[in-house]
Amino acid sequence: MIKVSLNWVNEHIQGHWQGAGEPTPEITGVSIDSRTVSPGDLFIAIKGPSFDGHNYAQQALDQGAVAVVVSRDMQLGDQQLVVPDTRYALGQLAAAVKREVAPVTIGITGSSGKTTVKEMLARILTLHLQGRGEVLATEGNFNNDIGVPLTLLRLTHAHQYAVVELGANHRGEIAYTTGLTKPDVALINNIAPAHVEGFGGIAGVARAKMEIFRELSSTGVAITPAHSDFHDLFVRELEGKQHWLFSYEGAVEKPAKQGLTVWAEHIELDPQGCAAFDLCTAKSRDRVQLAMPGLHNVSNALAAASCCLAIEIPMTSIVQGLSELQPVPGRMWVHRLENGLTVIDDSYNANVGSVRAAIDVLSTLPGHCIFVLGDMGELGTDARAYHEEVGVYAREAGVNELYTVGVLSQSANDAFSGEHGARHFDNKVSLTKALLQLVQERPALTVLVKGSRSAHMEQVVAALLANSTHTNEQAGDTVC
């Protein structure tokens, strides 16, 4: 974080100073967790459904916090700033830091692929800077109304670019975080059933994601996929704004004639499912070889390339960055084991779109392939129908076997079964035992593990890895 005075903080959050005199001490960081407070930090007491930071305000001061921001008088004298709403104060402080640093900013939202696109962008922009500055990028899942402010508060004057994920589980959340972020380029990567229960259906998801475009200036660029089911809605809503489209051969016909800004042609998947393609614009054509499996990563790469071209990053940096990027842990992270088992860890999260993409990857790989699925969460009243949909999709894609665990995934199992191999398990322990038994029977086996965060499918991955050792190849190698 940039160094600011407590008085500067108070000007931007409009707090009430409880002490005598002006609040002038220097702030070097912000924390909302008293356990992570360092000397020089400002502690903001956030209140949630199961916690209240006000209970830890004194602890934060004891650990060296300069002051605390609270929503009620804690009798802490000149070490407290009282505001009506501490969560709102956190956002306003983050927005002030963003204005002060003023990096070129790319905002990303979508139902899936946000993290992959973010990592692509961070790699490309870092290559472009060549040490002349830094790139701020969202860490982990810090993409909600608390995570986005905390991300922005990490900005320093060394940051030339900021790449910020904007997620949501209800309407209005992206509108709020976009107001803090004010991106120069705003991307909707895709729209798929995810967090549906908070939006009243897939159309509600699309409307919520479109809130990212509200703060674009007259020079800002909106970017969307031409192959989205909501393409026509995007076009109508973005009339009068700079609107760039991307897509790839097969997703739309004759991409160069569809009004696209960036597109892919001559896509080739190698035996491990990694794509090479021509990255095309009206002025250039460059060959890209991805180190990440899946046709969906072609779309992710096009999204990242579009964002970079919108801020005038040269194509040489874009091609190099896309080609060099390795998979993100938990997202198509490949482990080759000495017992002949290959585990593809895609357990970080799941929705219908990302599950279908994972099935597409698995269906292109050689040998006997098993798709392991935990429940997809937050899909509302149509949750069972969505699980049935992915079960049918896996069967039609030619996946050899489907192993499922969880109440909802039973529906995927039922839809997949018949003459195909499908097994449902009551718990992850029995699921893992069955997989390990199968490894002994089959010398070459590929298992892709996926599920929503609430399913904790990373536990299955960990158990499989704990019962074997990696080959001489480094863990986390791609399948390419």
What percent of the chain is helix, strand and coil (3-state, nearest 5)?
Answer: 40, 25, 35
CA angle 183, 81, 43 (to 5 degrees): 65
- Is 110 annotated as ligand-binding? yes
Which stretch of 148-162, 246-260, 423-437 has the lowest confidence by average pLDDT? 246-260
Q: What is the per-residue pLDDT across 225-240, written as a single tens digit (0 to 9) for each?
A: 999 999 999 999 999 9
Structure tokens at 65: 């916090």
Residue 29 pairs with which residues in a beta bridge?
41
- Is 240 annotated as ligand-binding? no
Q: What is the C-alpha separation between 185 and 152, in angstroms, rounded? A: 16
Distances (CA, A) of 390 to 86, 106, 332, 448: 42, 32, 18, 14
Three-state DSSP state, 409: helix
Q: What is the C-alpha separation between 284 and 44, in angstroms, rounded? A: 49
DSSP-assigned letter for residue 341 = E
- Is 112 annotated as ligand-binding? yes
Structure confidence at residue 472 (pLDDT): 46
Residue with more model confidence, 170 or 175:
175
Contact 91, 66 (CB under 8 A): no
Position 20 confidence tier, pLDDT thresholds 50, 70, 90: low
CB atoms within 10 A of CB 91: 21
Q: What is the per-residue pLDDT across 51-104, written as a single tens digit (0 to 9) for each?
A: 999 999 999 999 999 999 999 999 988 899 999 999 999 999 999 999 999 999
Q: What is the C-alpha separation between 5 and 125, in angstroms, rounded? A: 31
CATH superfamily for domain 102-324: Mur-like, catalytic domain (3.40.1190.10)
Nearest to 281 by CA among 305, 312, 317: 305
Three-state DSSP state, 266: strand
Q: What is the C-alpha separation between 44 and 172, in angstroms, rounded? A: 23
Distances (CA, A) of 210 to 10, 110, 231: 33, 9, 12
Q: What is the per-residue pLDDT across 247-286, written as a single tens digit (0 to 9) for each?
A: 998 887 655 556 899 999 999 998 778 899 999 999 999 9
Mean pLDDT of 466-480: 57
Does residue 479 surpass a pLDDT of 70?
no
Q: What is the C-alpha separation between 35 and 389, in angstroms, rounded? A: 44
Structure confidence at residue 195 (pLDDT): 58
Q: What is the C-alpha separation between 396 and 338, in angstroms, rounded? A: 31
Mean pLDDT of 97-126: 96
Q: Which residue has the tokens 């589980």?
A: 169
Distances (CA, A) of 346 to 297, 445, 453, 458, 461: 13, 16, 11, 8, 9
- Is 115 annotated as ligand-binding? yes
Listed by start position, the domains of the chain span 4-84, 102-324, 333-475
Structure confidence at residue 140 (pLDDT): 87
The length of the chain in residues reads: 480
CATH superfamily for domain 4-84: MurE/MurF, N-terminal domain (3.40.1390.10)
Q: What is the per-residue pLDDT across 303-330, written as a single tens digit (0 to 9) for each?
A: 999 999 999 999 999 999 999 998 888 8
Position 435 confidence tier, pLDDT thresholds 50, 70, 90: very high
Q: Fold for 333-475, please state it.
A: Protein-Tyrosine Phosphatase; Chain A (3.90.190)
* Chain center to CA of 27: 30
- Provide the angle, in degrees to the nearest 10, between the axes of the packed helices 86-101 and 6-13: 110
Does residue 474 surpass a pLDDT of 50?
no
